[in-house]
Chains A and B, each alone.
Chain A
């Protein structure tokens, strides 16, 4: 069996956030802003409260009464009391006996708003790239600028300059399970079960928003029906807890799909300019300009601009590089993380541009990349040294696949190549408790299995490798933030790298302790004999139970704590002119090939083959790793071809549902070939590198490059809908 959770999942036997229930639980609904921007003049919940079935209704005023002495983070109010910053922003919440009653009551709130001017899109602030001095604007959340070398000089010296302007669309994570939680408040304990990727993250956010001590908030993850970055921070938990405190009843709060689209905090549109100064086949210099719509994000909370912009320049040897970006504040919902946040968009621009340079000069795009790619030991524009990196090897493998495809596929099929790189040593740390009992090894963590297998399979596989026990003797035990060891969350492709390391440390400690208790010398391993855990050293076998102390026997086993706190990458300070940049660590490459057929009259693109080559470092479980690559590619194909949030001039989301926001179905996804490169070790246990995010990164670029190869049409805007392709084909 590949995954131990499969039997329960095919039977629908697991409890997800939406399945949570408690006797007497109330159902809650959020009351949300009717405008994208305005000043809240009146919020009157009287008619809500008198509505049938309503037990509690709470807005900013009621909150002040409920928690008079609270000291919440003033920059993160639970409810806005003045400025409404985006349409759908929660301004109050209501709990009633049934969901229908709560919905009906929510419609009765009296909300009066003085409208304020709406900034709906980047162009409302910057119609074009701002000239010098024009970037000072109240609508800018962040400005970043870094420089390596003398770009002015190399552009003046160039034989030719290749320019491109690219646009990317807003997208949403859209896990099949919407956000859902169940809150209970008893005495001093504010307890919430939630479909979350990060129980401790939710605890930290919730306590900051509500002004409660962290220990007073207890978060427990349910099974999670997909996250993709959208379930990391607190979203519903503070509202559900407030209603539970006000009503003295358990409160269930779950988003509808329409609400999920508006509140999930995902990727918003961007415009990217790239200029490359060429001399022969050398890239003398590159200028990258990014305008990123960060929606109604609060100042200082932009995490994307300075991180993502490095990906646009690409993993290439370039003489001089200038990176500049603005995080633009608009009245869309706030920007948030989404599987490899904003990297597929950056790489779409960067890798389309790389392809354009090559095709314009008549070079093979693959060979051009081969010549220009970073080698181990090269330096990034931010001055970091490139560590073990499978890019060169990946391109070599792509060449072999391309040769095979060219023989197998019909004339007219286009083949596109794109490479992505990513940094998976995020530095965010965590801890586990590992308990060796008489018959099993138990890994205690707060983290839920969100689907990737990183917890239920990855952590178990690490324990298998280190201990020698078979997987059936190893179990994950999920606990809550009151009892469990700290961990930062299941995101950023970090679970195996950080938490897996912690497991390795804890299991190693247990083996060392067993070694001290056993006679003789040499390596200690564990095995399962007749259902019992047995320690082996040389030829000797000893049941572990006989080695336990009295306390261990009474508490069902030997306990060890494993910790792993990594370090972020260091960048050269002199390269940074302004703004916050982030260092990369643990470079990993994703080299992808797409083969497409383009309908020359309608612009319809059909992806007929796909190959993903993954720089895995070390694989602890091959089927689970492959499944991550396959899933990432499919999600990337959605971003490439069909997924796009549509916004009105009033910043209203025009397609908040699956009928018009087009997630790929099985029929759009071709069989995916996966090749794994090991041998360029990362910082994870045994040399693993993060696996969840890299496979989505090059997908839109690979498809765009394949479309150009098939038809000559260069589409510089995501997604590549049939209409955009038709336009590039000059049919319109």
Chain B
């Protein structure tokens, strides 16, 4: 049983039939073709599927598509058109804050959300905010260097 669903994704209104139990992760990836949002654990424990809903980082694997309503969704594909998102991506590229790249969309989206909510956030609060995003390759070292560049210098 599917019912039509309207979403606002990366500034674009979309309409697609979606079964009531479908996760936003699957709607984004397989109905809307936005596969930059990565499927990880599907249990909310890895952060690979992080998207912004209403500007806040959310786990798309634990969100039903029909729960989103009219709140705007921002995925990694839409970050480029967001000044904060672009700054985060640029720093991740400059520091090579990635290896296999699979967790990377989740990290840049989560960091964008954190920085939009707390412009000028300290390095430690940004790091704290990323504890739900796992990376298996980098040892977080290059990610930490990227966060240092994105954080306001400590007073």
Contacts and interface: CB of A to CB of B under 8 A. Distances in A.
Nearest to A626: B141
A176 B103 contact: yes
A12 B104 contact: yes
Nearest to A224: B100
Given A18-B38, A257-B42, A226 B108 contact: no
Nearest to B126: A666
A13 B35 CA distance: 8
Considering residues A12, A631, A663, which has the most beta carbons from chain B within 10 angstroms of its beta carbon? Answer: A12
A135 interface: no
Nearest to A173: B136
A631 B139 contact: yes
B93 to A, nearest CB: 4
Contact of A634 (B37, B89, B139): B139
Considering residues B42, B75, B143, which has the most beta carbons from chain A within 10 angstroms of its beta carbon? Answer: B42
Contacts of B102: 16, 175-177, 225-226, 451
Interface in A13-44: 13-16, 18-19, 21
B57 interface: no
Given A10-B104, A176-B136, A225-B102, A665 B131 contact: yes
B48 A176 contact: yes
Interface residues of A, number: 52
A666 B38 contact: no
Interface string B55-77: 00000000000000000000111
Contacts of B43: 257, 657-659
Contacts of A200: none
A658 B46 contact: yes
Contacts of A9: 98, 101, 104
Interface in A599-624: 623-624
Contacts of A634: 138-141
B100 A175 contact: yes
Interface stretch (A58-66, A112-120, A438-446, A667-675): A667-675
Interface string B120-132: 0000000110111
Given A225-B102, A659-B43, A10 B139 contact: no
Interface in B73-115: 75-77, 79-80, 89, 92-96, 98-105, 108
B100 A450 contact: yes
Interface string A637-675: 000000000000000000001110001011101011000
A453 B142 CA distance: 14
A433 interface: no
Interface in A136-187: 174-177
A223 B100 CA distance: 8
Contacts of A174: 136
Given A174-B136, A657-B41, A667 B94 contact: no
A672 B141 contact: yes
B144 A671 contact: yes
Contacts of B141: 627, 630-631, 634, 669, 671-672
B138 A257 contact: no
B40 A11 contact: no
A11 B36 contact: yes
Contact of B139 (A226, A630, A658): A630
A2 B35 contact: no
Interface in A450-474: 450-453
A666 B131 contact: yes
B134 interface: yes
A1 B94 contact: yes
Nearest to B37: A12
Contact of B136 (A2, A10, A16, A226): A226
Contacts of B133: 665-666
A257 B108 CA distance: 23
Given A12-B76, A175-B102, A657-B45, A627 B96 contact: yes
A5 interface: yes
A6 interface: yes
A658 B137 CA distance: 16
Contact of A453 (B40, B89, B99, B131): B99
A624 B134 CA distance: 20
B135 interface: yes
A374 B39 CA distance: 47
A632 interface: yes
B96 A630 contact: no
Contacts of A3: 96, 98
Nearest to A15: B35
A14 B95 contact: no
A3 B137 CA distance: 14
Considering residues B41, B100, B108, B137, which has the most beta carbons from chain A within 10 angstroms of its beta carbon? Answer: B100
Nearest to B29: A19
Considering residues B77, B104, B139, which has the most beta carbons from chain A within 10 angstroms of its beta carbon? Answer: B139
Contacts of B36: 11-13
A12 B80 CA distance: 11
Contacts of A225: 38, 100-102
A352 B39 CA distance: 39
A176 B135 contact: yes
A228 interface: yes
B139 A223 contact: no
B72 to A, nearest CB: 18
A289 B71 CA distance: 62
A715 interface: no
Nearest to A175: B136
Contacts of A16: 38, 102
Interface string A674-707: 0000000000000000000000000000000000
A434 interface: no
A18 B140 CA distance: 23
B62 to A, nearest CB: 12
A256 interface: yes
Considering residues A10, A174, A669, which has the most beta carbons from chain B within 10 angstroms of its beta carbon? Answer: A10
Given A12-B104, A18-B39, A666-B133, A451 B99 contact: yes
A633 interface: yes
A225 B102 CA distance: 5
Interface string A215-239: 0000000011110100000000000
A228 B138 CA distance: 12
A133 interface: no
Given A9-B98, A223-B101, 19 more contacts: A7-B93, A8-B101, A9-B104, A10-B108, A21-B30, A176-B102, A226-B136, A256-B42, A453-B99, A627-B141, A630-B139, A632-B139, A633-B139, A666-B135, A666-B144, A667-B128, A669-B141, A671-B141, A672-B141
Interface of B: 29-30, 35-43, 45-46, 48, 75-77, 79-80, 89, 92-96, 98-105, 108, 127-128, 130-144
The 10 tightest CB contacts between A and B, nearest first, are A12-B36, A451-B100, A634-B139, A225-B102, A9-B101, A2-B96, A451-B99, A658-B45, A630-B141, A630-B139
Interface of A: 1-3, 5-16, 18-19, 21, 174-177, 223-226, 228, 256-257, 450-453, 623-624, 627, 630-635, 657-659, 663, 665-667, 669, 671-672
